[in-house]
Amino acid sequence: MAKKSRGRKNPEGKMSLGAHLVELRNRLFISAIAILLGMVAGWYLSPWVWDMLRQPIEALRENGREAQIMYTDISGGFDLTVQIALGIAVIIACPVWLYQIWAFIVPGLTKREKWHAVGFLGAAVPLFLAGVYVGWTVLPNIVRLMASFQQSQDVFNMDARTYIDFTFKLLFAVGVGFVLPVLLVLLNFLGVVRGKAILKQWRIAIIAIITFAAITTPATELMSMFILSAPIVVLYFAAAGIAIWHDHIADKRRAKEFAEYDLDEVTTSGDNS
């Protein structure tokens, strides 16, 4: 009986549009299940997290500013708890949905690519959480800046759901921004992009990172922009360096394999003559 071939069933990794849509549906379903399970923990953690998230508003009051968080309808408290639980669930389930993103980009993983996926998760998960933390550190500066545009005699009323929506969008955007350099490294490991090509586009990358930081934070809050953009720029150049190093090792390995193959051909030709 012939041995079963290892690796991809489709060596070229080609999939039809329908197969891609089915793959996307399955990945989204798995991610949704993980997030729903995370919402159970998020529901119980939401009071503690809400106390943490409202600290920037509390800091305004401590500095003598009349500020408060308000609910605009009768279901506001329940809706807020669901929002916070969902945000916590997305953070808790990040290992699952990050892997699903990677598995969708590279369907039919070979044994080596599965190890690449493990490396991706090992780097992406802590970087995502680090990005969430960095987003949290700049949040008080953003709130303080936005409040400074209002007259001191006016009350700074913040709708609870609007505040939570803005906060989690900021945290997730920065978290994803921290993960993108790791994705570049993994694409390089798969032979999709060369390290020199990544480094060659450094000007465009820096402009894109600064633009991302400017969109994520108010343009006038330069310190927050620096806190957000500087780590991502460092991660980008680190990713380029790792990719170039990997290309160097891979090129040497391929050159050695070709040399051994040519030597075998010469030896075989000599034996036949």
Q: Give the pLDDT score at 8.
A: 45
| Residue whose token pair is 């919402």 | 39
pLDDT band at 89 (very low <50, low <70, confident <90, very high): very high
**pLDDT value at position 261?**
58
The answer to whether the CB of 243 falls within 8 A of the CB of 194 is yes
Is a pLDDT exceeding 90 seen at residue 257?
A: no
Average pLDDT, the chain: 80
Please tell me which residue, 214 or 28, carries the higher pLDDT value: 28
Question: What is the per-residue DSSP string for 47-60?
Answer: HHHHHHHTHHHHHH
pLDDT at 135 over 70: yes
pLDDT tens digits, 44-64: 999 999 999 888 888 888 777
Give the per-residue pLDDT at 50: 92
| Residue-level pLDDT at 43 | 93
Tens of pLDDT along 35-44?
Answer: 999 999 999 9
The band of 264, judged by pLDDT with boundaries at 50, 70 and 90, is: low
Dihedral sign of CA atoms 110, 113, 115, 121 in order = negative
Compute the distance between CA of residue 30 and CA of residue 27 in angstroms, rounded to an integer: 5
Is residue 132 within 8 Å of 175, Cβ to Cβ? yes
What is this structure's pTM? Answer: 0.75
Q: Closest by alpha carbon to 84, among 43, 137, 51?
A: 43
**Whole-number Å distance between alpha carbons of 154 and 145:** 15
**Mean pLDDT of all residues in 240-247:** 89
Distance (Å, rounded) from C-alpha 214 to C-alpha 218? 6
pLDDT tens for residues 156-198?
788 888 889 889 988 988 898 898 888 888 888 877 888 888 8
Note the pLDDT of residue 7: 43
Residue, of 25 and 156, whose pLDDT is higher: 25
DSSP 3-state assignment of 4?
coil
For the chain, what percent of residues have pLDDT higher than 70? 81
Cα–Cα distance measured from residue 115 to residue 109, given in angstroms and rounded to the nearest whole number = 9
Band of pLDDT at residue 24, cut at 50, 70 and 90: confident
* pLDDT value for 2: 42
7: left (phi over 0), alpha (psi -120 to 50) or beta: left
Question: Please, is 134 exposed, middle or buried when counting C-beta atoms within 10 Å of its C-beta (0-12, 13-18, 19+)?
Answer: buried
CA dihedral 259, 261, 265, 266 (to 10 degrees): 20
pLDDT bucket at 112, cuts 50 / 70 / 90:
low
pLDDT value for 130: 92
Query: What's the whole-number mean pLDDT along residues 80-94?
Result: 92
Of the chain, the percentage scoring pLDDT greater than 90 comes to 18
Question: How far apart are the C-alpha atoms of 110 and 9, rounded to whole Å?
Answer: 10
Q: What is the mean pLDDT of residues 206-211?
A: 87
Q: How confident is the model at residue 67 (pLDDT cuts 50, 70, 90)?
A: confident
